[in-house]
Structure 1
């Protein structure tokens, strides 16, 4: 019997690739198969170090995107590039294709591969976007607002596996050659790898996430007083930043920015005492090689979303009501950059695990968290101090159970409803009532639509029924703005509706009904609280 051929498409960046490792490992568990990973060509070297991957193919996404531009693109050239890529890659007999990317371009590529089963985003024969997998719909729904997302990205990826099962730690291969090369780089920079040193990563994907370079330099100088050297790493584009820090530190830090490939970086991190970094891909490589990290999470970075997956990592967040800031906001003050002091980072960097709680208790103006992976694979964040602000853990705890129950049940009412007992906040009272009213209007409009189609109603009447569908969906949009605390659920429903198949009325109705089933199930979970049951909110309204 031929082994299954599993293909995974992941056009994300370095950190996300590393965080997808537990999913890739779980896809191969207990099955005779080979796994091919297709990635953005710039990160092929990262993908090749994921030990569960059998082969890696790099794709030139930068060349494709302009060709798919509706205004300036060349669709014929784009199609030719895709078919040429598939021919050269010799991808035949794809049994399972998992698309972890969330772009129309990746959906087109996946459709052309013609797999036997496709999970994630793809295209129908008529070209319409489609999504297979409720956890992928969930990921799409939180991309605009992660405030009430209770899951680490590793946990979300792991839930993409349609076969379920446990998932393990982050993994990354570091070879003897990598270690020799790292030793040479460190020696050339004047660093003895046998002596204690830390790695600093001052760069990030945007300025709002970056701790000031002057503070990194001061941190390096203070660590040097303790006999600890600092090695600054980063990309070629971050070379000037790293050299600035080395200069400002009066030689306490040395720069290797722009000199390391992924293997060199991983080997240096594996040898280091720890990494001190902004929220970057480097922090996930650190977790994968088993070195402790201190993450300085500024701007939109949130520990609950992207903390390194593993035990004993420290995350420092500003203790501000506005932190983390909305994902795509443009902050004008960067006040959080000055809230995290050198004292905070230095004291936690030199403390051992047993001292961390004592040190954290003295930290004012910040939240100090420590990571731990539970036996069930959940990344827990232990709060080590007593900040004035922070995420609403009651809300996050509720949504963790809510989403696991809703999405793993497949939108059907089952025994899980009776076992779902979780008092939800009193301030959600009016919101759930409003959402229930939207559901009632949706069911009524769906019933009329169904009857019109069944009775052969006029085109004008069916068009009017379709407008009624748009009205209750607009009500969901309004709800999101009025009740942000419960916005994640209607946002998820709208994502599902955005890929409803529109080529045929009957098929479109089936997709609407499917989403209403999820709407129904979600409301049933929301109304399991005794307070809401007493308020008379229907938990079992029938869907026509």
Structure 2
């Protein structure tokens, strides 16, 4: 296959940064909880390469909650960045405050992490304006000198963790493994008095309607797992309360809101099996080692996000319109045409190994 990377990428004269000498490094990933959890291997690799450096994460308000669970993260800069907003005021400088904040912190390097469909150039420009001397990122398209270390993008299908570790490897930071990990605080609440010692967790929510397996099918799974003798906890956010209670029905234990992300991690860690849509909950289950059945909509490519740290079964249907990245499916969610019996069977297979 011919090399289609831009000739300006990784241009001569720009050697690997001196990571061991750095005092402060910023990792940029202003996305959702699952995206932040997948940066764990990045921070682990950086900690080994730059042992004296403070490692900070630039996170979105939604993703910042996950940062406290990552063992190697020292600090968090929370911002609603311009390149993640749809409605910007004409003539304004929405990133001005962020630029000032980053400049005051005095970072030696910024590592811009992106999915295959995202551009690193807006973040690189913010870092340049903030005076960050080393700016690293992946890109297919031309962006001039905004990145000091511009690494050609790998194939779109590559797993997100591999994509991020490949970026680091290209600038002299070797991988320290692909496994996800989180640090669950000792004071995280696990409501064992409510759920008992043997339980499953069902998480029917997702960030958009196109990723949600139908509630009535989740409810059928809850009834089947309860029939197996498990307490079935149905978890979700406060905004998902109606969905959580509908799925729980008369046999499940609804937990909508009231649990922080650390509490949820503690809850998932003790579950015999977790059943969830493609969402942050899957990556959290992956990180704590809980067996997980994932209902994967065709909004993305499975191999980019597949759980790899824990035992998992990913259920989906191949469709010609995937990956669509639609918020609402314009068809009939053929990619999620999966029966409750299939999900229950997958959950039982995973439990047979777990118990």
TM over 0.5: yes
Unaligned runs of 5+ in 2: 1-19
| 1:261 Cα offset (Å) | 1.1
| 1:353 Cα offset (Å) | 7.3
| Aligned-partner SS, 1:41 | coil
| 1:119 Cα offset (Å) | 0.4
Match status 1:157 vs 2:164: yes
Does the 8 Å CA contact 1:20/1:158 hold for their aligned counterparts? no
Match status 1:91 vs 2:95: no
Partner of 2:175: 166
Please list the CA deviations of residues 337-382 of structure 1 after superposition, one character each: whole Å capped at 9, or x if unmatched: 3x311111111211257789xxxxxxxxxxxxxxxxxxxxxxxxxx
Please list the CA deviations of residues 211-268 of structure 1 after superposition, one character each: whole Å capped at 9, or x if unmatched: 1110110111111111012111122222221111122xxx221221222111111000
Q: Equivalent of 1:175, from 155, 179, 185?
A: 185
| 1:2 Cα offset (Å) | 6.7
Partner of 2:3: none
Please list the CA deviations of residues 262-320 of structure 1 after superposition, one character each: whole Å capped at 9, or x if unmatched: 111100001111211111111111111111111111222432111113142111122x4
Please list the CA deviations of residues 6-39 of structure 1 after superposition, one character each: whole Å capped at 9, or x if unmatched: 2112111110111111012112214332212121
| 1:99 Cα offset (Å) | 1.5
- Using the alignment, how far apart are the partners of 2:247 and 2:240 within structure 1? 11
Bigger Rg, which one = 1
Does the 8 Å CA contact 2:124/2:147 hold for their aligned counterparts? no
Partner of 1:229: 231
- Using the alignment, how far apart are the partners of 1:156 and 1:244 within structure 2? 38
Return the TM-score normalized by structure 1: 0.54
| 1:191 Cα offset (Å) | 1.9
Q: Between the two structures, name the one with larger relative contact order (CA 8 Å, sep ≥ 6).
A: 2
Does the 8 Å CA contact 1:174/1:267 hold for their aligned counterparts? yes
| Gap change, CA 1:105 and 1:312, over 3 Å in 2 | same
Q: Equivalent of 1:28, from 47, 69, 83?
A: 47
Partner of 1:371: none
Alignment of 1:135-146 (within 5 A): 135=151, 137-138=152-153, 142=156
Partner of 1:310: 309
Alignment of 1:48-63 (within 5 A): 48-61=68-81
- Using the alignment, how far apart are the partners of 2:101 and 2:339 within structure 1? 49
Unaligned runs of 5+ in 1: 143-148, 357-544
Return the TM-score normalized by structure 2: 0.81
| Gap change, CA 1:22 and 1:243, over 3 Å in 2 | same
- Using the alignment, how far apart are the partners of 1:53 and 1:287 within structure 2? 19
| Aligned-partner SS, 2:286 | helix
- Using the alignment, how far apart are the partners of 1:57 and 1:202 within structure 2? 30
| Gap change, CA 1:157 and 1:315, over 3 Å in 2 | same
| Gap change, CA 1:274 and 1:354, over 3 Å in 2 | closer
| 1:54 Cα offset (Å) | 1.7
More deviation in 347-356 or 166-175?
347-356
| 1:4 Cα offset (Å) | 2.9
| 1:206 Cα offset (Å) | 2.3
- Using the alignment, how far apart are the partners of 1:80 and 1:352 within structure 2? 49
Partner of 1:119: 136
- Using the alignment, how far apart are the partners of 2:37 and 2:21 within structure 1? 29
Q: Name the structure with the higher helix share.
A: 1
Match status 1:8 vs 2:7: no
| Aligned-partner SS, 1:154 | helix
Alignment of 1:79-478 (within 5 A): 80-86=96-102, 90-92=104-106, 94-101=107-114, 102=119, 105-120=122-137, 130-131=146-147, 135=151, 137-138=152-153, 142=156, 149=157, 151-161=158-168, 162-168=171-177, 169-178=179-188, 181-183=189-191, 186-187=192-193, 190-192=194-196, 194=197, 196-247=198-249, 251-318=250-317, 320-322=318-320, 324-328=322-326, 330-337=329-336, 339-352=337-350
Does the 8 Å CA contact 2:316/2:338 hold for their aligned counterparts? yes
| Aligned-partner SS, 2:123 | helix
- Using the alignment, how far apart are the partners of 1:353 and 1:227 within structure 2? 12
| Gap change, CA 1:354 and 1:222, over 3 Å in 2 | closer
| Aligned-partner SS, 1:298 | coil
